Amino acid sequence: MHTELELVTAPEVPIEAECLSPAKIKGLSQSGIEHLEMMHGNRKVRVGDFFRVTGNGQCSLRLEGDLSRVKYIGAGMTEGEVRVNGSAGMHLGAGMSGGMIRVSGDASDWVGPEMSGGRIEVMGNAGHMVGSAYRGQRVGIMGGEILIHGNVKNELGSAMRHGLIAVGGQAGDFVGVNMRAGTIIVMDGMGVRPGAGMVRGTIVSFQPVELLPTFSYSCWLRPTFLRFYLCHLGQSGFEVDDAYMGGRYRRYCGDSVEENRGEILVLDAR
């Protein structure tokens, strides 16, 4: 059983809908859900003004329609499931600590900020600042998984502290900037300056990467841990080449302007 919400009125300006999360709707009646408040620009509106609600409040939430102007879907969720059939707006899963979000289309900027657990899966592309710290904060996501099957833009996983971010397509510039720890895997290449200012953590690329001069070559290796990660990603629908599994990786240490304890692993083409 799930609760279904279909976006029937397209919002002119973005909606901030922190209420679209299982924890907020669980146990509510259909009209209770329709009466939940959200912000449409600077005005308070009701869920029922924009969504057609079917069913009462369940732990599983299905959202239909083009929600690219609906922000904060699944914000603060601790359990349950949100499936978006279409695209999702900014701040998807902000501050979530458990549960699962799956978006069949694209997601916008700021996927999973301040996340500490749970899983976000986007089948399409995502915007800038995926899994990143909010501006001014020293530490980004503290755990959980963000899986993007398409491409992402700049500053993927900035200042992340823990967890896994995987991108099936390409990533923009500054992947893992100021990263504290955790793992970022990008399959189809990334822009310039990956790992700038990283303290610890692992960034994996299967394509050649242009590195900063503050990264230095240390050795090559065949990391065992990566095979587990890749098996896991393969089960989640990523295309994992055999060459990734058994391949040799060149390990670069950095960023030496920080503690030089981070690493970037680049698949050796040979």
Partner 1 sequence: MAENSVELRIKGGKVYDPANGIDGEVRDILVRDGRVVDKVSEKARTINAHGMVVMPGAVDIHCHIAGPKVNLSRKLQPEDHRLDVHPGTEVTRSGVGGVTPSTFATGYRYATLGYTTAFDAAVPPLAARHVIEEFHDTPVIDKGFYVLLGNNMFLYDLLKQGRKQDFKEAIAWWVTAARAAGVKLVNAGSDEFWKGRRNDNVTDVNEDIDPFDLTPLQATAAFIEAVDELNLPHPAHIHCNNLGHSGNVQTTLDTMKAAEGHRAHIAHVQFHSYAGELGKRVQTGSEAIIDYINTHENITTDIGMVMFGKATAMTADAPLTWMLRFKDTKWVNADTECESGCGVMPFTYQDTNYTHTMQWAIGLELFLLSKDPWRVMFSTDHPNGASFQTYPRLIRLLMDRGFRAEMMKNVNQKAISTCLLPQLDREYSLSEIAIITRAAPARALGLVNKGHLGAGADADITVYTDDENREHMFNAPRYVIKAGKLIIEDHEFVDDHIGRFLHTEPEHDPAIEDQIRPFFEDYYSIRFNNYRVDASYLHDHEVIPLRNSGGKRKKGSK
Binding residues for partner 1, rule CB under 8 A, total 5
Q: What's the rounded Cα separation, in Å, for the pair 240 and 161? A: 26
Q: Which is nearer to partner 1, 37 or 239 (CB)?
A: 37
Supply the DSSP symbol for 176.
T
Instruction: Please report whether residue 270 would count as binding partner 1 according to CB under 8 A.
Output: no
Q: Which is nearer to partner 1, 241 or 259 (CB)?
A: 259
Q: Which two tokens mark 149?
A: 């099957």
Residue type present at position 37? E
Q: Which is nearer to partner 1, 134 or 261 (CB)?
A: 134
Instruction: Please report whether residue 44 would count as binding partner 1 according to CB under 8 A.
Output: no
Q: DSSP assignment of 37-64, as one string?
A: EEEETTEEEEHHHHEEEES---SEEEEE
Q: Which is nearer to partner 1, 31 or 137 (CB)?
A: 137
Instruction: Please report whether residue 134 would count as binding partner 1 according to CB under 8 A.
Output: yes
Q: What's the rounded Cα separation, in Å, for the pair 176 and 132? A: 9
The dihedral formed by the CA atoms of 22, 24, 27 and 33, expressed in degrees to the nearest 10: -100
Contact positions with partner 1 (CB under 8 A) in 49-88? none
Q: What's the rounded Cα separation, in Å, for the pair 270 and 268? A: 6
Instruction: Please report whether residue 138 would count as binding partner 1 according to CB under 8 A.
Output: yes
Judged by CB under 8 A, the residue of 9, 29, 31, 137 near partner 1 is 137
Residue type present at position 181? A
Q: What's the rounded Cα separation, in Å, for the pair 62 and 53? A: 10
Instruction: Please report whether residue 43 would count as binding partner 1 according to CB under 8 A.
Output: no
Q: Which is nearer to partner 1, 29 or 137 (CB)?
A: 137
Please report how close the Cβ of residue 195 comes to partner 1 at its closest, in angstroms: 17
List contacts with partner 1 (CB under 8 A): 134-138
